[in-house]
Amino acid sequence: MAGYFEPQGGPGGGAAIALDEVEISILRSLAVQLLELIGPAPGGESDDDGPVDPLDALFAESPSEPPKDPALARLFPDAYGDPERPQDEESRRMSAEFRRFTEGELRGRKREDLLVMVRSLDALAPAGVLTLKPEEARQWLGALNDLRLAIASRLEITAEDDGDRLFALPDSDPDKPMVMAYFWLGGLQESLVETMLP
């Protein structure tokens, strides 16, 4: 079981993975950093202030402009237009309107996925076998995907062929730890997807 997820209780029945102290620390640190980057839950409350009123969250308006940070821009892309070309005025207007009404909910969902990851790691520490129920596995999958997207933006990964360039980095390169985390998270994500297949 070490190193990758395995199914628990048959298809769709959850997943389990053995994690050591270093792996838990890395996963938790990455998740907390991304939580800080994403910002507070919808409605402006932090998760420590108690539950967010669903009605307040529903009517809380999100920003209409895309995020300036490249990692957030990758996590919350424009809904309209071709990402490879500059947007026309109509695409900008439609994207802004769509973002204004949906980004808060999307941020909240991404935060919840990351919080599930952090809480399950905290319950497991310092090491052991992490067992996820089906819904927790889905949330972990979302969190792993978001972590990889954020790291990919920092490493300026835009295509599959960037893998060769990243593998060729010398150990002395300052990006090497982030590259190793990117590939490790990819392996975790792939093995978790496989546990969820029918």
The pTM of the full predicted model, rounded to 2 decimals, is: 0.81
Contact call for residues 15 and 5 (beta carbons, < 8 A): yes
List the beta strands (DSSP E) in 38-166. Answer: 128-132
Say if strands 15-19 and 6-7 run parallel, antiparallel, or are unpaired: antiparallel
Give dist(CA 43, CA 114) in Å, integer. Answer: 18
pLDDT in tens, the chain (198 residues): 357 999 987 666 799 999 999 999 999 999 999 999 998 865 554 455 555 555 555 445 555 576 788 898 888 877 766 655 666 777 777 767 777 777 778 888 999 999 999 999 999 978 899 999 999 999 999 999 999 999 999 998 876 666 778 888 899 999 999 999 999 999 999 999 999 887
* b/e code 34-66 from CB counts within 10 Å (16+ = b): bbeebebbbbebebeeeebeeeebeebebeeeb
SS3 189: helix
Structure tokens at 134: 């089906």
